[in-house]
Amino acid sequence: MQNRNLTADDHFKELAEAVVEMDEERAVAAAHASLESGIDAYDAIQQGLSAGMERAGQLFEEEEYFIPELLMCSDAMYAGLEVLKPHLKKTAGSRGTVVIGVIEGDTHDIGKNMVRIMFETGGFNVIDLGRDVPPQRFVDTAIDSNADIIALSTLMTTTMDGMGTVVRLLNEADIRQGIKVMVGGGPISPGFAKRIGADGYAVNAAEAVKVARELVAI
């Protein structure tokens, strides 16, 4: 990849492929190579790494990739990102701030972590509250950080009630208008999302980013 004859597109393609192929070392090498060729770091991230992650998300939706593969793709993406980040001339304009977490009572955070990764790679600023989070903390954090979206995840039917509580707390605090709520996770259905008054539902991590983009575009 030291070849000076490579076009910018070649570099983007190599970065994207390294991500899709789950190859951290290749992503690091491709990131260095693109910098050496004078490619703008921001473009390398957007058109290379993020494009690769988007493709990985697609493969996930097509059930070609599953959680372990998607996690390894994101590792490759972050490895490349580490190299490129210090060379960013401007901070990339964020699409919005998302407060994300798993509702209190549930420590299953695989799904939530996937969604966080997809949000981050999709250009959102993400505040991750982790797992087992009380409803009030989502609301407090969203207010403090001036967030656009609260994203709630649960894998257990036993903790679904907490999602409704978050919406209720937002209503009570009279800040419901400014903050969109999206929900997802194993037992959650679009019908349930509607019932508790959530603005969006996503069936998986790849779709979550699309839904979030639509929510903040409105």
Partner 1 sequence: MSSTSPKDRLLDTLAKKRVDRPPVICTGGMMNSAIVDVMTKTGHTLPEAHFEAGRMADLAAGIHHETGFENLGIPFCMTVEAEVLGSEVDFGSLACEPKIARELFPSVKSVVYRDISSMLQVGRISQVARAAELLALRHPDQPVIGSLTGPVSTAASLVEPLQFLKELRKERESAHRVLEYVSNFLIGFARVLVDSGATVICIGDPTATGEILGPRMFDEYAVTYLNKVIDGIHATGVPVLVHICGEMKAVKPSIPLLHSDAISADAFVNLKLLKQEYSQLTTMGNLSTILLESGDPEKVIHRTETLLREGIDIISPACGLSTSTSLDTIRAMTDTVKEA
Nearer to partner 1 by Cβ, of 80 and 96: the residue is 80
Nearer to partner 1 by Cβ, of 51 and 73: the residue is 73
Alpha-carbon span 73 to 24, nearest angstrom? 8
The strand pairing partners of 97, in sequence order, are 125
> Closest separation between CB of residue 103 and partner 1, Å?
11
> Closest separation between CB of residue 75 and partner 1, Å?
7
> Closest separation between CB of residue 160 and partner 1, Å?
7
Nearer to partner 1 by Cβ, of 11 and 116: the residue is 116
> Closest separation between CB of residue 88 and partner 1, Å?
26
CA angle, 177 then 183 then 186, to 5°: 170
Q: In what order do the strands lie in the sheet with 149-153?
A: 125-128, 97-102, 149-153, 180-184, 200-201
> Closest separation between CB of residue 165 and partner 1, Å?
12
The strand pairing partners of 126, in sequence order, are 98
Nearer to partner 1 by Cβ, of 132 and 140: the residue is 132
Alpha-carbon span 175 to 170, nearest angstrom? 6
Identify whether the C-beta of residue 198 lies closer than 8 Å to the C-beta of residue 180: no
Task: List interacting residues with partner 1 (CB under 8 A).
Answer: 22, 63, 65-69, 71-72, 75, 104-110, 113, 132, 155-158, 160-161, 186-187, 189, 192
Alpha-carbon span 121 to 140, nearest angstrom? 25
Nearer to partner 1 by Cβ, of 10 and 69: the residue is 69
